[in-house]
Amino acid sequence: MRKILLGIAITSTLFTSCSNDDDSNNQNTQVEAPLTYQFARGGNSTVNFEGQTTRIQMAMAFSSALNDNTKTAADLQGMFSHMEGENNFSDAELNASGKNIRSKVAASKDYFSANTTVSNDIKNLMDSWIEQQATTVFVNKDVTATTGTAGKLQQAGGGSIRYVNAKGLELNQAISKTLIGALMTDQMLNNYLSTSVLDEGSNIDNNNKDVVENGKPYTTMEHKWDEAYGYLYGNEDNPESPVLDADSFLNTYLNQVDADPDFAGTASAVYDALKLGRAAIVAKNYDVRDAQVAIIRENISLVIAVRAVHYLQGGKEELAAGDTARAFHELSEGLGFINSLQFTRQPNTDAPYFTHEEVTGFMAKLMESNGFWDVTPETLDSMSAAIAAKFGFTVAAAAD
Amino acid sequence: MIKKIVLFLGLALIVSCSTSDDSPSGGTTDDFDRAALLTNLADNIIIPSYQDFGPKLSTLKGAIESFVATPNQSTLNTARTNWLTAYKAWQHVEMFNIGKAEALNQYYYFMNIYPVTVSDIETGVNTGSYDLNSSNYHDAQGFPALDYLLYGVASDDAGILSKYASDANAQGYKDYLTAVIDQMDSLTQQVITDWTTVYRNQFVNSTQNTATSSLNKFVNDYIFYYEKGLRANKFGIPAGVFSTAPLPEKVEAYYNQEVSKALSLEALNAVQNVFNGKAFNSSATGASFKTYLEHLNTNRGGQNLSTIINDQFNLARTKIEGLNSSFSQQVTADNSKMTDTYDVLQMAVVYLKVDMVQAFNISVDYVDADGD
């Protein structure tokens, strides 16, 4: 996989040099990616994505709070839509930040700038999940969950206790896994890697002439690309050489998919494309850049699809084995990943692999009547098959 | 999987080799007569729009003077009627932030920044100490301040009249109201005089394609107005597109409560008329963005871009017509209709700000400042 990708990258530089009638300065430049994600101008690093790091850290704190039954709905909503100076977090730096999670949920330029109505629907669903977590799940923390009643369920063999709503859905999982799509993936694939953002205004001209942002060492285009990088690697100790498993979001699930031999190489494909694409911006070679965008979009989208199918299948097996708690846990993660599918991006199109309507239909199917309490293996299999087929992998490949 | 990637990349490479450049289809050399476009804009749209607005504002000034001299229900009603007439006419000139309007450090800053900061107005009324030339008072003057002073200083008309007749600060209210309309009138006269004396020729004769040429600036002002003045201020901000929750108190003409829709329809008509080069005083059309795009044969997805843009404006108008006449009530009752309208307006931003400017070979001189 790796070799092939490298081959492709080289071929692509050769091929793209034939389109030499555009107005870039150095269209014949051979683009070479550095060993690690390290770029400098005049001795100063040009890489910066602290805003992304902040939002990932907010999302991590929020995600743990969703499991803390001492929190009120207002506490949780405060973390989700933090306002500068409010003490929603235990970390003073996060409290001081003017950023928040909610404002970047379903907020990419390509998908949502002219789709605020759908964006609001997505955010409103998350708001209602957050509210329910406090008002229906936390209050029933000592009740054993049964069909139609929220409460706790313990995994077999004295395992973890899971807290579910009346339909068996672990809301914290649905929320966290939705964020992987709605925040990280959407911002990365449909905002910062989009030509509508990378090439906005005079960005190409400024990048061609090395005109940097006021008081900064980077051009706007370089910075936008780095912000995409930051949504994936922003919480790494040393982001230029990522080791993965550095958050509980996209970074970690890229690692998990990569660890499946059927999808080995996915992580390096993404990293290599991000490096080469950034180098292409420095070299002002936008054809090479855009070819990397396609690679990133395909592979990041794949991560979400593989995990969706993985958890649907895992849930099905646990249901068969009679471990309701473990089954509902996996199905809840699956539902969140399914919701995230609407933020994927089919390379070289303006469309996700599954639309908002399609994922809403999938989720409704999983939640119909008593939800996970009476979902059938046939439903889980047909949904898994539909997702896998669209991406061109097998259900079996994702299941293990 | 791997095969798919290779296949896909192969296709991408072939495509990248066959494209000659990234401009929209057409590719005719640009011999469009920019001077004709500028002349039509100046003589048939901009100057007539101002010549309609100026007298309406003067009439409003007279009505306010009568109200200040004799505050009663009748003079209040007349002032309000003339406020609405002038406010509608204003919607046709706000986008022309060029020439004197720009040189005044943004004429529209003194005319239509909302929501107003009520405390600035009330403090000014109480103390008599305020400076309408200061940027601190941009949000305490213009039509939005008149909206507050004529509709919002008390909860009913009797209360409003008493503010000007019997209140301890009655003179303060009168003085502030007078200062606001005097400022608006004085600035407006300067802008009109400049257009009708020196600026018209300067505007029409600047036919080059540089960042400071007339058309480049005008196109930027036009799109900026559409994006900010129309789309964001009138719809997006109250609908909560840029905030956590909707903000119904941020609509235009908030205190009047009945005309935010009527004003926005005027604004959309003004935008579309400029696009089509339609004369202000008749149904005649001349050289315009539309004829320029047609001259360049600019297409998007196989359809004329000018048709796409007009269709989008028309769709937006249909959406707006379906809204409550008070946008703050619309936002409170069913915000999804408001965001739905916003979405339709936003679609046209892409057509204007990406496709049209590329066809004209004009750079956009501003970007959205919304990153991390």
Nearest to A8 among B9, B364, B365 (CB): B9
Q: Closest residue of B to A347, CA-based?
A: B8
On whether residue A333 sits in a domain, the answer given is yes
On whether residue A367 sits in a domain, the answer given is yes
Q: Does A230 touch chain B (CB under 8 A)?
A: yes
Nearest to B16 among A55, A202, A287 (CB): A287
Positions of chain A with pLDDT under 70: 1-29
Chain B contact set for A346 (CB, 8 A)? none
Written in H, E and C, the secondary structure of chain B is CHHHHHHHHHHHHHHHHHCCCCCCCCCCCCCCCHHHHHHHHHHHHHHHHHHHHHHHHHHHHHHHHHHHHCCCHHHHHHHHHHHHHHHHHHCCCCCCCCCHHHHCCCHHHHCCCCCCCHHHHHHHHHHCCCCCCCHHHHHHCHHHHHHHHHHHCCCCHHHHHHHHHCCCCHHHHHHHHHHHHHHHHHHHHHHHHHHHHHHHHHHHHCCCCCCCCHHHHHHHHHHHHHHHHHHHHHHHCCCCCCCCCCCHHHCCCCCCCCCHHHHHHHHHHHHHHHHHCECCCCCCECCCHHHHHHHCCCEECCEEHHHHHHHHHHHHHHHHHCCCCCHHHHHHHCHHHHHHHHHHHHHHHHHHHHHHHHHHCCCCCCCCCCCC
For domain B26-360, give the CATH number. Answer: 1.20.1420.20
Q: How many angstroms separate the CA of residue B2 from the nearest CA in chain A?
A: 7
- Which residues neighbour A45 within 8 Å (Cβ) at sequence distance 6 or greater? A38, A39, A217
**Cα distance between residue B90 and residue B77, in whole Å:** 20
Chain A contact set for B6 (CB, 8 A)? 4, 8
Domain of residue A327 covers: 140-400
Q: Do A291 and B16 touch (CB under 8 A)?
A: yes
Chain A stretch 118-157, residues whose beta carbon is closer than 8 A to a beta carbon of chain B: 120
Pairing of strands B299-300, B303-304: antiparallel
Q: Do B5 and A114 touch (CB under 8 A)?
A: no
On whether residue A384 sits in a domain, the answer given is yes
Q: Do B244 and A102 touch (CB under 8 A)?
A: yes
On whether residue A133 sits in a domain, the answer given is no
On whether residue A93 sits in a domain, the answer given is no
Domain boundaries, chain B: 26-360
Q: How many angstroms separate the CA of residue B292 from the nearest CA in chain A?
A: 21
Which ipTM value was assigned to this complex? 0.73
Chain A stretch 293-352, residues whose beta carbon is closer than 8 A to a beta carbon of chain B: 294-295, 298, 347-348
Q: How many angstroms separate the CA of residue A186 from the nearest CA in chain B?
A: 14
On whether residue A259 sits in a domain, the answer given is yes
What are the per-10-residue average pLDDT scores of chain B (372 residues)? 41 38 51 96 98 98 98 98 98 97 95 97 96 94 98 97 96 98 98 97 94 94 97 97 92 97 98 98 97 96 96 98 97 97 95 94 77 60
**Cα distance between residue A376 and residue A326, in whole Å:** 16
Nearest to B343 among A11, A115, A348 (CB): A115
On whether residue A148 sits in a domain, the answer given is yes
- The whole-model pTM stands at 0.82
On whether residue A128 sits in a domain, the answer given is no
Nearest to B343 among A50, A100, A116 (CB): A116
**Cα distance between residue B93 and residue B45, in whole Å:** 9
The count of structural domains within chain A is: 1
Q: Do A8 and B21 touch (CB under 8 A)?
A: no
Expressed in angstroms, the distance from the first to the final Cα of chain B is: 35
Q: Do B6 and A4 touch (CB under 8 A)?
A: yes
Nearest to B241 among A19, A116, A298 (CB): A116
Q: Do A49 and B372 touch (CB under 8 A)?
A: yes
Chain B contact set for A200 (CB, 8 A)? 364, 367-368
Q: Which residues of B lie closer than 8 Å to A, measured between beta carbons?
A: 1-2, 4-6, 8-9, 12-13, 16-17, 19-22, 236, 239-241, 244, 335-336, 339-340, 342-344, 346-347, 349-350, 354, 363-368, 371-372
